[in-house]
Amino acid sequence: MLQKTYSIYSDDLNDVQLFIEAGKYHIACWCKKENDDKLRAFEFFLCDDYTGENIEELIDNTRLFSRLLTMPVACTNFFWHNDEVLCLPDEKKDNDFVKANFELMFGNSINSKIFSASTAQCMVAWRIENQLQYMAQQCFRGAVFNHQYLPLLSSLKLSGNAFYLFFYPYYFTLTAFKENKLQFAQTKKYNSAEDVLYFVLNSCKQYDFEKNTNIFCGGFIDEKSKLYEMLYQYLEGFQLLKADATDFASAEFTEYSSHYFIPYINYEV
């Protein structure tokens, strides 16, 4: 199943950088120009979970309905958005240590490879099925591959103690900072509003955050949904992030709530 839910384009799409995010149940495509933070186009597709055996078919089907995946671009940046990812101290680069932590958290996987890269906050390590990585590289030759946590963590504007909560189809990413230092980052699947609320409240308790700690929220959450109402009611510091009109190169973006695009506007590569 593939369903296109957003297709927004500005007039000038010449010499742009293409960004692709592949989550378990979505494909997001957007573009910007170098040294220009304006979001110039955005496409979003819902899809079924995929593996290395069917990702080529998924990408081929996506191209049938995508303008961004079929036009010439200056460069392509591809980001995996999977939940087999760890944030570790940057000095912990020993391969055996990283592998042991993956096996402890996610189990053994003999047909996968662990990749890693550093941010100012930590080392991000992620594990991808070998065939999945290979087929994606064949579909997007010359693309730079990374994990979604790398540009996301780099884009957050830190101000003391805070949570950042970003929603995607069927799952969310929660990061926590105390005195501007990363405490944790996790991506979790959810089935109900209660699932999200419990995880946030439990994280506050385990990491000893004050109940009024700011919880900045963005991504695909509807302000009229039960999810939004419950989080707003029970989380004292809960607030939606808002993008400025100057962040968009087309007036079409303003037809949607600006917090939908927050996870993508500030991607830094």
The answer to whether residue 114 is domain-embedded is no
E strand or H helix at 123:
strand 123-129
The answer to whether residue 44 is domain-embedded is no
The answer to whether residue 238 is domain-embedded is yes
In tens, the pLDDT along 18-31 reads 999 999 999 999 99
| 138 Cβ contact partners less than 8 Å away, ≥ 6 residues apart | 56
In tens, the pLDDT along 139-176 reads 999 999 999 999 999 888 777 899 999 999 899 999 99
The answer to whether residue 257 is domain-embedded is yes
Average pLDDT over residues 206-228: 95
- Domain tally, the chain: 1
Rounded distance between C-alpha atoms, residue 11 and residue 93, angstroms: 45
Q: Dihedral sign, CA of 155, 232, 199, 237?
A: positive
The answer to whether residue 211 is domain-embedded is yes
Rounded distance between C-alpha atoms, residue 12 and residue 80, angstroms: 27
Q: Which is it for strands 214-219 and 238-240: parallel, antiparallel or unpaired?
A: parallel
Domain containing residue 176: CATH number:
3.30.420.260
The answer to whether residue 210 is domain-embedded is yes
Average pLDDT over residues 127-144: 97
The domain in which residue 222 lies consists of 156-265
Query: Is the Cβ–Cβ distance between 162 and 207 less than 8 Å?
Result: no
The answer to whether residue 260 is domain-embedded is yes
